[in-house]
Structure 1
Amino acid sequence: MTRQVLTDSFGRRIDYLRLSVTDRCDLRCRYCLPKGFKGFEEPAHWLTVDEVARLVQAFTLLGVSHVRLTGGEPLVRRDLPLLARRLASLPGIEDLALSSNCTRMETLAEPLFRAGVRRLNVSLDSLRPRIFEQVTGGSLELVLRGIEAARRAGFSPIRVNTVVMRGVNDGEIESILEFCAERDFTLRLIETMPMGRTGQAVLAEYIDLQEVKQRLERRFELIPDILPGGGPARYFRLSASATRIGFITPISQHFCATCNRVRLGVDGTLHLCLGQENRYPLGALLRAGLTDDELIDQLRAAMALKPEQHGFRERPTQVPRFMAMTGG
């Protein structure tokens, strides 16, 4: 087959796939999964390594070159290094990245790097152990050890993702920025999103990141910058340094007009928008015996369902699924 281009109904080129390898997680972040949640997909319904590789290969034939492994928490999937190695070897894959909470990275950093994963986004919402535990239910020390293991293994760039919550961690943004600057990490601040009842429950903690940016500008000179492969963040560089900070603002300043991504759930459900319910059953169709040509046709058909934009601000309660069920 000839390598082609995948576009949606609005002319946006889709070249980025976020691939959920599991919907399970070993943390319970207050904006993502509720404590005691048991409604995970059965492992028997997860796509196998061969099925994932076949789907991703179909995407690459339509011009998708950037794949990010997500969850839930991807490190809880036992065959993740094997899966990563298969994907890294596929023709057309130019960038294989990982989003993780790094709780298990001490043992998995080197195997994943050897498998071909190079870029890492780390979820880190606080540098205060008590606040970190309140937000995630986990151990800050374990996560910091995991981040250091990833740095030693060679992951680069490493980007720290911080969901900013008013009255919770908004007072320590400068400290997290200094932590990143000391290690040559990029900090990305993220607005809370009303995904599922957990995300909707923390709407009272929502903070417009323009407010945070204005506060930082009183201390730092922020110079507009561009970061290749930086996703939807608007980036700035701190004057007289190489330190970058990005602002991901799905509520206050959405970036739907330039959206270049789709999300594949662990069972093969294709989610066309994080903030809408538009989906397509690729996994079920794959297991029904589609040929490669038919699979390509189905991917093209799915793009017709990708909406023009989300409705987080206008309809904040419309998305019942939790973030972990979507693939980040």
Structure 2
Amino acid sequence: MINIISGNKIKIIPDIEPQKETKITYLRISITDRCNLKCFYCRPENQEFIPREEVLDYEDMVKFVKVLTKFGLKTVRITGGEPLLRKDIEKFISMLNEIEGIDDIAMTTNAITLKKQAKALKEAGLKRLNISIDSLKPKLFYDITKGNLQDVIDGIIEAKKVGIEPIKVNAVVIKGLNEDEAIDFVEFGREYNVEVRFIEMMPIGQGQIDWKEDMVQPLEKVKQKIEEKYGKMLPSFSMGSGAARVYEIPSIKTKVGFITPISNPFCDGCSKLRLTVEGNVKLCLRTDDEIPAKDILKEGTEEEIEDFVRKVVVAKEISNENIQFNNYAFGECQRIMTSIGG
């Protein structure tokens, strides 16, 4: 059996064999819940961080990754909080880079300190980056994040200089706030040779505002606005596109992606897991369902961890079916986004 913690409740998954040839190809690892920005939709004003002694060690994260390669894992994305705040992150990337079967190591970052760290990250084996920018207007960027936009741009320039490619820019679109910047973001993508990905705002966690449906800007309208200026976009492919629907703008040879969890969900066939900063396996962003993994990763043999992962795969199959047929709402996930791992 395997226990799933969901808020204050415990669900029990029986010992059954996987019913499908489910593969887990993608793992997001949150290595810290700390962040040097304060995005109002993501992080509460007075966030209490997980005590350092409860944070999962790099070595235990690596154990999990090694076993998951037997179940199809190819891609690891390092997230936070802000992952660049975690000490010895280059060491962790090097450890991942040595695992046979892992051919793609990516990171999601706010890039505030990237300029100083880009070279070491590249040398350690980091393949690509996603960088969060919710506005290209310096004052609005500050109002949203309490950070300096130029620091982020400097980080992008340095990352490209040392050869980290591709770089994608993630922009959460909030109706009434920044949806008028769509064209500016496309031009930014063209100027810096980065792919811009627009993301609908999700009601996850407890930021400094209460999520309301009228904050969601359906991205179909953003897509229409872009096509009105640049002409018809063509479906395209992008390495690590995941949930994004990617298009190329032929007239300017620039790619944009759209992530639409609210207006057009994309749950079918999900093969993604998340490992939280304190060592829980999170099956899906839509719920608070988590499977404690810290003890087995610290104390279990490789065979015991493999048996545990086999049960996680069963739980993932059940989770995918529940999402598809019961239409769980995003609001069932109350955990703070900075501790989930993006």
Shorter-normalised TM range: over 0.9
* Structure 2 residue 329 is matched with structure 1 residue 319: no
Question: Offset at 1:8?
Answer: 6.5
1:24 equivalent in structure 2: 34
Which digits, 9 at most, give the CA deviation of each residue in 1:150-181, with x for residues without a partner? Answer: 11111100000000011111101110110111
Which digits, 9 at most, give the CA deviation of each residue in 1:255-312, with x for residues without a partner? Answer: 100312100011110000011122111112223x211011011011012222126599
Question: Offset at 1:212?
Answer: 1.1
Which digits, 9 at most, give the CA deviation of each residue in 1:186-238, with x for residues without a partner? Answer: 01000001101328724342111111112222112211112232111001100
The CA distance in 2 between the partners of 1:74 and 1:19, in whole Å, is 10
The CA distance in 2 between the partners of 1:58 and 1:240, in whole Å, is 45
- 1:206 partner amino acid: V
Q: Secondary structure at the match of 1:232?
A: coil
- 2:116 partner amino acid: T
Which digits, 9 at most, give the CA deviation of each residue in 1:5-49, with x for residues without a partner? Answer: xx9756543210001111111111111102231x21111111212
User: Structure 1: which 5+ residue stretches go unaligned?
Assistant: 1-6
2:255 equivalent in structure 1: 244
For residue 55 of structure 2, the aligned residue among 37, 46, 53 is 46
2:182 equivalent in structure 1: 173
The CA distance in 2 between the partners of 1:92 and 1:98, in whole Å, is 18
Deviates more, 1:63-72 or 1:297-306: 297-306
1:70 equivalent in structure 2: 79
Residues 10 and 256 (structure 1), Cα distance of their counterparts in 2 relative to 1, 3 Å cut: farther
On the 8 A contact 1:251/1:313 being kept in 2, the answer is no
User: Structure 2: which 5+ residue stretches go unaligned?
Assistant: 1-16
1:3 equivalent in structure 2: none
Aligned length: 320
* Structure 2 residue 306 is matched with structure 1 residue 292: no
The CA distance in 2 between the partners of 1:190 and 1:293, in whole Å, is 39
The TM-score normalised by the length of structure 2 is: 0.89
The CA distance in 1 between the partners of 2:285 and 2:199, in whole Å, is 14
On the 8 A contact 1:121/1:159 being kept in 2, the answer is yes
Residues 313 and 187 (structure 1), Cα distance of their counterparts in 2 relative to 1, 3 Å cut: farther
Deviates more, 1:194-203 or 1:246-255: 194-203
On the 8 A contact 1:272/1:303 being kept in 2, the answer is no
The CA distance in 1 between the partners of 2:158 and 2:18, in whole Å, is 39
Over aligned residues, Cα RMSD in angstroms? 1.9
Residues 234 and 86 (structure 1), Cα distance of their counterparts in 2 relative to 1, 3 Å cut: same
2:202 equivalent in structure 1: 193
Which digits, 9 at most, give the CA deviation of each residue in 1:66-119, with x for residues without a partner? Answer: 001100110000110111111111111110011100001011100110000011
The CA distance in 1 between the partners of 2:118 and 2:73, in whole Å, is 25
* Structure 2 residue 237 is matched with structure 1 residue 226: yes
Question: Offset at 1:128?
Answer: 0.5
Residues 226 and 43 (structure 1), Cα distance of their counterparts in 2 relative to 1, 3 Å cut: same
The CA distance in 2 between the partners of 1:129 and 1:223, in whole Å, is 31
Which digits, 9 at most, give the CA deviation of each residue in 1:112-157, with x for residues without a partner? Answer: 1000001100001111111001111111111111111111111100
Q: Aligned residues: percent identity?
A: 35
Deviates more, 1:300-309 or 1:94-103: 300-309
Structure with larger RCO (C-alpha < 8 A, sep 6+): 2
* Structure 2 residue 34 is matched with structure 1 residue 34: no
On the 8 A contact 1:12/1:259 being kept in 2, the answer is no
Deviates more, 1:307-316 or 1:276-285: 307-316
1:4 equivalent in structure 2: none
The TM-score normalised by the length of structure 1 is: 0.92
Question: Offset at 1:314?
Answer: 5.7
The CA distance in 2 between the partners of 1:129 and 1:296, in whole Å, is 48
Question: Offset at 1:316?
Answer: 4.4
On the 8 A contact 1:181/1:243 being kept in 2, the answer is yes
The CA distance in 1 between the partners of 2:297 and 2:23, in whole Å, is 23
